[in-house]
Amino acid sequence: MKRLLGLLALLLVLFVAVLVVTRLRPFGAAPSGERVSRAERSGHYRDGKFQNLEPTNMVQPGSYGEMLQHQFFGKEQRVPPKPVPIAPRTAADYALPPASGLRATWIGHASVLVELAGQRILVDPVFSQRCSPFDFVGPERFAALPITLEALPTIHAVVISHDHYDHLDLPTIEVLSARGTQFVVPLGIGAHLQRWGVPLARIHELDWYEHAELAGVRFTATPARHYSGRGVLGRDATLWASWVITGNGQRVFFSGDTGYSKTFREIGEKLGPFDLTLIKIGASDPTWQEIHMSPEDAVRVHADVGGRLLLPIHWGTFNLANHAWNEPAERLFAAARAAAIQFVIPKPGELVDVAAPLPVVTWWR
The 10s digit of each residue's pLDDT in 82-131 is: 999 999 999 999 999 999 999 999 999 999 999 999 999 999 999 999 99
φ, ψ at 104 (rounded to 5°): -135, 145
Q: Is residue 361 part of a domain?
A: no
149 or 67: whose pLDDT is higher? 149
Residues 6+ apart with CB under 8 A from 158: 121, 122, 123, 125, 173, 176, 181, 182, 183, 184
| Domain count of the fold of the chain | 1
36-76 pLDDT, tens digit per residue, is 999 999 999 999 999 999 999 887 765 656 666 666 666 78
Residue 63, domain member (yes or no):
yes
- Residue 286: give the domain boundaries: 33-353
Rounded to an integer, what distance in angstroms lies between the CA atom of residue 29 and that of residue 235?
12
Q: Contact 332/281 with Cβ under 8 angstroms?
A: yes
pLDDT in the model for residue 138: 95
pLDDT exceeds 90 at position 13: no
Out of 20-34, 101-115, 324-338, least confident range: 20-34
Res 20 pLDDT > 60: no
Q: Is residue 134 part of a domain?
A: yes
Provide the CATH number for the domain around residue 93: 3.60.15.10
Asked if the structure places residue 363 within a domain, the reply is no
Q: Are 299 and 264 in contact (CB under 8 A)?
A: no
Q: Is residue 334 part of a domain?
A: yes
**Predicted TM-score (pTM) of this structure:** 0.92
- Please report whether residue 177 resides in a domain: yes
Is residue 295, in this structure, part of any structural domain at all? yes
Q: Is residue 6 part of a domain?
A: no
Phi, psi of 216 (to 5 degrees): 85, 5
State the average pLDDT for the chain: 92
Q: What's the sign of the alpha-carbon dihedral 159, 150, 156, 94? A: negative
Write the pLDDT tens digit of every residue in 172-213: 999 999 999 999 999 999 999 999 999 999 999 999 999 999
> Which whole-number Å values give the CA distances from 208 to 39, 92, 239, 269, 331, in the listed order?
11, 36, 9, 15, 31
Extended beta strands in the chain, E state: 45-46, 49-50, 102-108, 111-116, 119-123, 157-159, 182-186, 203-206, 211-214, 217-222, 242-247, 250-254, 274-280, 307-313, 342-343, 351-353
Query: What is the 8-class DSSP label of residue 130?
Result: B
